[in-house]
Amino acid sequence: MFSSLKWKLSITYLLIIVTIMTLSGFFLIKSIRNYYLNNTKINYLTQANILSNLTAQNLNSGNTSLRSIIKNYSKQVNARVLFINRDGRVLIDSFGKEKGLEGEILTFEEVESAVKGESRAKIHYIENGGWVLYVAVPVFAFQRVAGVVMFSASINSVMENIKEIQWQLITIFLFIGIIITLISFMVATYINKPIGKLTRAVNRMAKGDLSTRVKIYTKDEIGQLAQAFDKMGHELERYDKRLKSFVANASHELRSPLSSIKVMVESLLNEKEPDYKITREFLTDINKEIDRLTRLIKNLMELTRMDKMKELNRTEFNLTDLIEEVVEKLEPLAKQKQLTVNIRAPQNFEVYMDYERIFHMVANLVDNAFKYNIDNGVVEISCKREDNNVVLTISDTGIGIPEENIPSIFERFVRVEKSRTRESGGFGLGLALVKEIVELHEGKIEVESTINEGTTFKVILPDVKHG
Ligand code: ADP
């Protein structure tokens, strides 16, 4: 239980607070005590000095008048007052001749210091009398110490006051301590709550529930972490969906040619006396299906390679040459449909891109422009520089793409009306690859299409090096 963050935080706070409060309390109490006692000492020293001056002035007026001065003063300052000679013998005691110490010799260090000319004030604790302040002040006459005036005052009430203040301080500190402890516990609980929520969400996600969200929208670090977690969850879910549909689509695409091959092989095997013409026809179809399978696997491998290798292998090459090479490679298809292909590109069009991938991209777009064109149609391919970009346009006069299908044609295995394109052999992977290549080059692709009029694909790629 104490290993949880909440407790760790609370105990740390508590230790810090207790240490700070104990130290500051200790110093506060000490300075208050010193302040009070020093004040008392100064007060009595001042009084003793006044009396010392008075005594000095009345030294020659005889013991009786001195005695009455001292007695009066004793009442005034509420202390026992002694007049002591240089030998330490008490000459006058405000307590009177009988009850007092008159005639006795005192050996207090305060008296000894005062005889040497130094005033002294010291606190003593006496068994039955409690706290007592002794103040001894020299009496100067004719520039020499003629005697000592000594005060002995009970300071029990001062000590009581100090004690009272100490208890008040301790109570206040305890109260503050308890309040701060409660607040720190509440703060720790408050901080810990979203962390607990986040931990539970992470555990749920680790068990496979990708729809888990934390939904903490605070702006602090924990809120930011929670929002990043939710975003990650969203991406994972999207990725998972894509992966599942990719696997389902890929398996489906792989299965259909295999089923056709199996049906044809089985009917050939069931033929007791195989007819050469029919056998040849079947074998031709099987061969076509095998070609289709091979193309599908090649496309899948290319996609996987693209997913794995996100690094571009940029080199400098002539884009116009690349376009011409692509068109040349696909010429049989153009010829079959008697298409007119126009290339509008500068002779030397140097770009710094991934040659292999750009070739693949142009080949896929041109292949589509040929595949989905009408007989005797036209294909226009152009490239130019525009605002630090390379703009490549491929237009055809083909069947066009319905507007509602345009947003999805770049997804894997998406084909518009499978029946119309089935014979042309598309798997719906070409444009997915094109999009990945464009994004790897940090560019974008736009489509404009009108049914039965034609389609234009516009690829805009940042012109690295030349721009
Ligand atoms: P496919 O391998 O089927 O050609 P693509 O990913 O290249 O797959 O294209 C996805 C779908 O978009 C195609 O099936 C086709 O219906 C449509 N399409 C792509 N290019 C064109 C085009 N130039 N004209 C008309 N339709 C097109």
Rounded distance, CA 425 to CA 414, Å? 13
For residue 178, the one-letter residue type is I
Q: What is the DSSP letter of 273?
A: S
Please indicate whether residue 396, judged by its CB atom, sits closer than 6 Å to ligand 1. yes
Residue where one domain finishes, among candidates 266, 291, 308: 308
For residue 275, the one-letter residue type is D
Rounded distance, CA 82 to CA 77, Å? 13
Q: What is the mean pLDDT of residues 357-380?
A: 95
Q: Is residue 39 part of a domain?
A: yes
How many other CB atoms sit within 10 Å of the CB of residue 138?
Answer: 25
149 and 288 share one domain = no
Q: Tokens for 287?
A: 């061969």
Rounded distance, CA 379 to CA 331, Å? 12
Q: Tokens for 408?
A: 């999805």
**Backbone phi and psi for residue 457, each to the nearest 5 degrees, phi listed first:** -105, 130
341 and 448 share one domain = yes
Res. 228: pLDDT tops 60: yes
Q: Is residue 229 part of a domain?
A: no
3-state secondary structure of 135: strand
252 and 333 share one domain = no
Q: Tokens for 365?
A: 């777009």
Is the Cβ–Cβ distance between 159 and 183 less than 8 Å? no
Rounded distance, CA 232 to CA 216, Å? 14
Min mean pLDDT across 26-40, 216-230, 412-426 is at 412-426
Rounded to the nearest angstrom, the distance between the alpha carbon of 361 and the centre of ligand 1 is 13
Q: Tokens for 172?
A: 């206040």
**Backbone phi and psi for residue 48, each to the nearest 5 degrees, phi listed first:** -65, -35
Binned at pLDDT 50, 70 and 90, residue 443 comes out as: very high
Rounded to the nearest angstrom, the distance between the alpha carbon of 415 and the centre of ligand 1 is 6
**What CATH number does residue 205 fall under?**
3.30.450.20
Chain position carrying tokens 């729809």: 211
103 and 23 share one domain = yes
Please indicate whether residue 233, judged by its CB atom, sits closer than 6 Å to ligand 1. no
From the list 77, 90, 68, the residue with the least C-alpha distance to 50 is 77
Rounded distance, CA 169 to CA 22, Å? 11
Binned at pLDDT 50, 70 and 90, residue 183 comes out as: confident
Q: What is the pLDDT of residue 318?
A: 97
Rounded to the nearest angstrom, the distance between the alpha carbon of 178 and the centre of ligand 1 is 73
Residue where one domain finishes, among candidates 308, 330, 361: 308
Q: Is residue 227 part of a domain?
A: no
**What CATH number does residue 360 fall under?**
3.30.565.10
361 and 449 share one domain = yes
113 and 181 share one domain = yes
Res. 422: pLDDT tops 50: no
- Residue that wins the pLDDT comparison between 92 and 3: 92
Q: Is residue 233 part of a domain?
A: no
Please indicate whether residue 430, judged by its CB atom, sits closer than 6 Å to ligand 1. yes
Rounded distance, CA 292 to CA 309, Å? 25
- Nearest-CA residue for ligand 1 atom 20 is 368
Can you list the pairs that 161-166 forms with residues at least 24 positions away whose Cβ atoms lie under 8 Å?
161/36, 162/32, 162/33, 162/36, 162/37, 165/29, 165/32, 166/29, 166/32, 166/33
CA angle 79/84/88 to nearest 5° reads 125
Q: What is the pLDDT of residue 246?
A: 83
Which atom of ligand 1 is the closest one to the Cα of 400? 25
Share in percent of the chain as helix, strand, coil (round to 5):
55, 20, 25
Please indicate whether residue 395, judged by its CB atom, sits closer than 6 Å to ligand 1. no
Per the structure, how many domains does the chain have?
3
From the list 389, 441, 12, the residue with the least C-alpha distance to 184 is 12
Q: What is the pLDDT of residue 129?
A: 84
Residue where one domain finishes, among candidates 308, 339, 356: 308
260 and 144 share one domain = no
Share of the chain above pLDDT 70, in %: 97
- Nearest-CA residue for ligand 1 atom 21 is 368
3-state secondary structure of 209: coil
Rounded to the nearest angstrom, the distance between the alpha carbon of 40 and the centre of ligand 1 is 103
CA angle 390/313/368 to nearest 5° reads 55
Res. 101: pLDDT tops 70: yes
Binned at pLDDT 50, 70 and 90, residue 418 comes out as: low
Please indicate whether residue 433, judged by its CB atom, sits closer than 6 Å to ligand 1. no
- Nearest-CA residue for ligand 1 atom 16 is 416
Instruction: Please give the residue range of the domain that contains residue 455.
Output: 314-462
Q: Is residue 215 part of a domain?
A: no
The residues pairing with 352 across neighbouring beta strands, listed in sequence order, are 316
Rounded to the nearest angstrom, the distance between the alpha carbon of 454 and the centre of ligand 1 is 12
Give Cα 296 to chain centroid, integer Å.
46
Q: What is the mean pLDDT of residues 272-298?
A: 90
How many other CB atoms sit within 10 Å of the CB of residue 314?
Answer: 16
Q: Could you give the residue ranges of the DSSP H alpha helices within 337-408?
A: 355-371
Rounded to the nearest angstrom, the distance between the alpha carbon of 238 and the centre of ligand 1 is 24
CA angle 80/86/88 to nearest 5° reads 50
263 and 294 share one domain = yes
Rounded to the nearest angstrom, the distance between the alpha carbon of 311 and the centre of ligand 1 is 27
Q: What is the pLDDT of residue 3?
A: 67
Q: In this predicted model, what pLDDT tens digit does every residue of 24-79 receive, in sequence order?
A: 989 999 999 999 999 999 999 999 999 999 999 998 888 888 999 999 999 999 99
161 and 15 share one domain = yes
Please indicate whether residue 409, judged by its CB atom, sits closer than 6 Å to ligand 1. yes
Q: Is residue 467 part of a domain?
A: no
Ligand 1 pocket mutation pick from 424, 431, 446, 451 by most atoms within 8 angstroms of CB: 431
Rounded to the nearest angstrom, the distance between the alpha carbon of 308 and the centre of ligand 1 is 25
Please indicate whether residue 249, judged by its CB atom, sits closer than 6 Å to ligand 1. no
Q: Is residue 330 part of a domain?
A: yes
Give Cα 385 to chain centroid, integer Å.
44
Ligand 1 pocket mutation pick from 337, 421, 437, 447 by most atoms within 8 angstroms of CB: 421
**What CATH number does residue 266 fall under?**
1.10.287.130
47 and 185 share one domain = yes
Q: What is the mean pLDDT of residues 168-187?
A: 88
Global pTM? 0.56
Nearby residues of 391 by Cβ (< 8 Å), 6 or more positions away: 383, 384, 385, 458, 459, 460
Please indicate whether residue 66, judged by its CB atom, sits closer than 6 Å to ligand 1. no
CA distances from 55 to 25, 61, 243, 365 (A): 44, 10, 110, 122
271 and 358 share one domain = no
Res. 419: pLDDT tops 60: no
How many other CB atoms sit within 10 Å of the CB of residue 360?
Answer: 19
Rounded to the nearest angstrom, the distance between the alpha carbon of 438 and the centre of ligand 1 is 17
Rounded to the nearest angstrom, the distance between the alpha carbon of 240 and the centre of ligand 1 is 25
Res. 277: pLDDT tops 60: yes
Please indicate whether residue 368, judged by its CB atom, sits closer than 6 Å to ligand 1. yes
Q: What is the pLDDT of residue 123?
A: 94
Res. 315: pLDDT tops 70: yes
Q: Is residue 237 part of a domain?
A: no
Q: What is the pLDDT of residue 424?
A: 58
284 and 394 share one domain = no
Res. 431: pLDDT tops 90: yes
Which atom of ligand 1 is the closest one to the Cα of 432? 6
